[in-house]
Amino acid sequence: MQYRKLGRTGLDVSVLGYGAWGIGQTMWIGASDDESRKALRGAIERGVTFIDTAYGYGNGHSEELVGEALRAAPETVYVATKIPPRNRIWPAPAGVHASETYPAEHIVRITEESLGRLGVETIDVQQFHVWSDEWLEQGDWLEAVDRLKQDGKIRFFGVSINDHQPANAVKLVQSGHVDTVQVIYNAFDQSPEDELFPAVQEANVGVIVRVPFDEGSLTGQIRPDTEFPDGDFRNDYFRGDRKEQVWERVQALAADLGVSPDEVAGPALRFASTHPAVSTVIPGMRSLRNVERNVAAVDAGPLDAEQLARVRPHRWERDFYRG
């Protein structure tokens, strides 16, 4: 396993992190707690030292499972979690005041609840689950964050940037108030490279990359005839002709990389970890098999210049979450 500094936090985190959304048993259907425990344990045994969860993943169920894994871990494993906005609106719409999303009392209360579920005295990275740069000078959120740090409840503060809006945290990064940002970055959505990555590199802010597989399309397993369980959010994400769209684009990417569609996940994950601004990548890993495959991919190292050049033309601007 390779390790990198999480920006100015100084934490040495594994390049492959563990994204714990899928084990919360909401929106992603089909995970069993037993298999989730095996995947978490297997990831830690293979050198993963960073786990990202959230209160919103199963109303705390994911945090509880992660807490079990932390207590059983033989080595130091860092945990990041997230505070949902009080108005429960994802992503943050324009024009909403910070007092409606992250008032101080809400930040403190949810943090205390997460500490209990995780079974830790201090959260390594506490994050807002949505963000808008409009909030930078609004409300009392920053006072609450500073108080939590002073009280030893959290070590560092970050935000999870709205889907496909990487520039909507550049001002926050430049303000010096944030230690990490979490952002969608993959072979299709390369937009963080435009403004966000230069800003975080200048400010030495850590980058947590989410959705490296575009909710599964970049594994080569989403095909025109793919079906998802009832209640699984991917029924909406890949609605209409979207499965046909992604399958066509994945085949083109695979052809340019000289691999089969079934093998595109490896280089896709390596792409997400290649940029020097990236600290860790957090794919969802609901099974031990996926852990093993992703560890092997990251162990192969970053893509080389020729491979990167083959991925670049596959940039695809769209938003399946809201579009």
Q: What is the tens place of the pLDDT at every residue in 106-125?
A: 999 999 999 999 999 999 99
For the record, the structure tokens of 300 come out as: 């192969």
Of 7-16, 79-88, 198-207, 225-234, the poorest mean pLDDT is in 225-234
In a domain, 62, yes or no: yes
**Confidence at residue 323, expressed as pLDDT on a 0 to 100 scale:** 67
Q: Does the residue 13 lie in any domain?
A: yes
The tokens describing 152, both together, are 């030893």
Q: Are 154 and 123 in contact (CB under 8 A)?
A: yes
- Residue 26 binned pLDDT confidence (cut-offs 50, 70, 90): confident
pLDDT at 231: 87
* Cα(241)–Cα(245) distance, integer angstroms: 6
What pLDDT shows up at residue 136?
97
- Full domain range(s) for residue 139: 3-216+265-306
List the CATH number of the domain containing 168. 3.20.20.100
Residue 81: inside a domain: yes
Antiparallel, parallel or unpaired: β 12-14 and 3-5: antiparallel
Lookup result for tokens 């938003």: 319
In a domain, 225, yes or no: no
Q: Is residue 247 part of a domain?
A: no
Residue 130 lies in a domain: yes
Total domains, the chain: 1
Q: Is residue 251 part of a domain?
A: no
Residue 246, domain member (yes or no): no
pLDDT at position 175 over 80: yes
What is the per-residue burial (b if ≥16 Cβ within 10 Å, else e) of 275-308? bebbbbbbbbbbbbebbebbbebbeeebbeeebe
CB 310, CB 257: distance < 8 Å: yes
The reported pTM is 0.97
Q: What is the mean pLDDT of the chain?
A: 96
